[in-house]
Amino acid sequence: MRVPAPQIREQLDTVFGAWGMSAAHAATTADMMVETDLRGVDSHGISMLPSYDKEFRAGRLNVRPVFKTVRENLATALIDADASLGHPVSVHAMNLAVDKCRDAGVAVVSVVNSHHFGAAGCYSRIAADRGVIGMVTSATRGVTLVPTFAAEPVMGTNPLAFAAPAKKNPPFQLDMATTTVAAGKVKVHKLNHKPVPPGWVVDGNGDTVTDPEEAFRYVFERPEGGITPLGGSREAGGHKGYGLAVLVHILGGTLSGASFSPIRNKTQKPSDPHNIGHFFLAIDPRAFRNDGEFEQDLDQVIDVLHGAKRADPAQPVLVAGDPEMATRAERLRDGVPIPDDLMDQLRAVAKSAGVPFVLA
């Protein structure tokens, strides 16, 4: 079923309001989640609401947070998110990093004691829309990535996003998991009853799993097996994805003092907040180039890439961000697809919150 974006935003806003979230934080969270769905990142948009509902009901999610600046100087800041959902604090942190980089040239804002924040690319795009380069990483709450040569998961799907402004072209926008696929994509295949592509998920022996129900269990329920690092096997370069995952956690989690998933799972009570960390970097091109020169050069880079000889005449050569922007235009026109199984879960969330169900 296709649902118009305004209806999704209304449903999210009313649920968050019923939970007790402030109007401003509810609107920001809804906006980020809808933007995620519009970009085609179905694993991180409204499909996360049932999971957020479980966290709220379990008492691990503070919906009335007071953000606290723990440390700050001209070019850096550390913000305590007060165990809140990650979307509002991340919008605040990215904008703060942009503000600081205007004065210092480069700025980093770290966030600690946060929660899942959706799609990292939504926050790096904030920087690009304000005329600066943005990079975002985050620690994770899940343990799903099976390291090279391991038989059990240790890392999360640690995301990395980067955006840079051009002048003529849309911003370059890279948004990726450091696993072969985000864990939520396996969830989406289960919701749609579609086989999981070979190489995404492996069992405890390292053998590929394609049945969506079984793959979901290996990723979310079973202690062995999980998702492969970006690249897959060692021979195909999976050790590089594994290394990137650790890099992302060092910046997103270790730098801020946030938790590391496998340690947290062994040392914290189930009722404890997840203490996820995020990392936001902003670079002002004008600290290095005359005004407009960076954007003009990036336009040339993008034009050359778009103009590369095609392997298939019918398939244009793309750069990061092109597929998301095409999907965004299509979904603004035709609505966001919501699988039947997810629709049932969302109906239950609305009923539990005591608000009208407006998606169908």
How many CA within 13 A on the CB side of residue 357? 11
What is the per-residue pLDDT across 280-317, written as a single tens digit (0 to 9) for each? 999 999 999 999 999 999 999 999 999 999 999 999 99
Half-sphere exposure of 193 (CA within 13 A, CB side): 3
Instruction: Note whether 210 and 235 are same-domain residues.
Output: no
Same domain, residue pair 139 and 264: yes
Listed residues 200, 227, 254: the one ending a domain = 227
Identify the pLDDT of residue 141: 87
Half-sphere exposure at residue 285, Cβ-oriented, CA atoms within 13 angstroms: 22
> Residue 360 above 90 pLDDT?
no
The three-class DSSP label of residue 160 is strand
| 269 has a pLDDT exceeding 90 | no
- pLDDT, the chain, mean: 95
- Asked whether residue 115 falls in the same domain as residue 80, the answer is yes
Q: What is the pLDDT of residue 358?
A: 97
For residue 78, pLDDT beyond 90: yes
pLDDT of residue 271: 82
pLDDT for position 311: 97
- Please indicate, yes or no, whether residues 277 and 131 belong to a single structural domain of this protein: yes
Q: Which residues span the domain enclosing 221?
A: 188-227
For 170, the 3-state DSSP assignment is coil
Give the CA distances from residue 181 to residues 156, 253, 278, in Å, rounded to whole numbers and listed in that order: 11, 20, 20
pLDDT digits (tens, 9 = 90+) for 13-39: 999 999 999 999 999 999 999 999 999
Is the predicted pLDDT of residue 266 greater than 90, yes or no?
no
Q: Are residues 249 and 112 in the same domain?
A: yes
Q: Please tell me the distance from the alpha carbon of residue 135 to that of residue 173, in angstroms, as a whole number.
A: 10
Give the pLDDT confidence of 151-162 residue by residue, as tens digits: 899 998 899 999
Within-domain flag for 326: no
The pLDDT assigned to 268 comes to: 85
Q: Write the CATH number for 160.
A: 3.30.1370.60
As a whole number, mean pLDDT of residues 333-337 equals 98
Q: What is the C-alpha separation between 356 and 334, in angstroms, rounded?
A: 23
Given a cut of 90, whether residue 128 has pLDDT beyond it is yes
What's the 3-state SS for 35-81? Answer: HHHHCCCCCCCHHHHHHHHHHHHCCCCCCCCCCEEEEECCCEEEEEC
Classify residue 58 by burial, with Cβ atoms within 10 Å: 0-12, 13-18, 19+.
exposed
CATH code for position 50:
1.10.1530.10
Counting residues of the chain whose pLDDT is more than 70, the rounded percentage is 100
Task: Kindly state whether residues 156 and 80 are assigned to the same domain.
Answer: yes
